[in-house]
Amino acid sequence: MYSCAGNLTCAGYPGSFEHEFLDAETFAEWGVDFLKYDYCYHSSIIHGKYLYQRMGLALENCGRDILFSACSWGADQTHEWIKSTGASMWRSTGDIFDTWESIKELVKQQNCLHPYNAVGCFNDMDMLVVGMYGKGNVGLKGCNDTQYKTHFSIWALLGSPLMIGCDVRNMSEETKRILGNEELILINQDKACRQPIKLNGFWQEEDCMIYARQLEHGEIAIGLFNLGQEATYARFNLDELGLPLSTGRTLKMKELWTGEELTVKNASVIWKLAPYDCAVFRAKVEKR
């Protein structure tokens, strides 16, 4: 179900402003499981945190377990108050579009928001545009399969809810392969839901990003992402992950798109990335 914290929805239909409890009870009667709650035509004199608290409280008292997807686009410093509203997930950005420029912009907005993703209140970077190829409401220019692969990998590693945006009735085989990468989905769904960190690396191009995230049972997810149009190298040292040479430990790494395995030597990783491409690893700590 879709509704809005304003008088009207973004499409101009009636919103739920000052009808939150009535609407929540009605949604429960209809058997609704998921509510996306948008932010168009909202009051300019009532802060967003109060509007989302109203619907969050209404849903908690409606008699049905309904997932509350708060979509305030990151406005009004959403990250600072969203956990107080009962929201299950929250949009941290404006809308995504099926262009590489849009994906890249949303990724770069995340650097200051990583601490605000948590179990029970997940940071939603918006839906996946994988496989849209320029079709649909947000189609615009479209992306190629390498860009879609990187898009999916970043969303999975950073812990964003994974919602398919393309027409599932007409997915290409490559789209199915990307969206069906079970090992990336396992990282996304890791129960610990720990905060990702952005590594400094060394000799890094501006559009080359390296993220890591501790998983359950001592494993580490590591993502190398080239957002630029030229090939580049991702380089980092293991001491950024708490594994300097003095620990006597290293990483055994498996790349989750190719299945390639390697053991890190000399406490440094150097990996070549094609334009717009990525590499994502699941790594285990082991003795040298």
List active site positions: 38, 95
Q: Which are the contacts of 248, defined by CB distance < 8 A and separation ≥ 6?
A: 287, 288
Phi, psi of 56 (to 5 degrees): -60, -45
User: What does each C-alpha distance from 123 to 70, 84, 111, 148, 267 come to in angstroms?
Assistant: 10, 14, 12, 20, 32
**What is d(CA 88, CA 118) in angstroms, rounded to the nearest whole number?**
10
Cβ-count burial 119-147 (b if 16+ within 10 Å, e if not):
eebbbbbbbbbbbbbeeeebbbebbebbb
Q: How far apart are CA 154 and CA 152, in angstroms?
A: 6
**CA 222, CA 119: separation in Å to the nearest integer?**
20
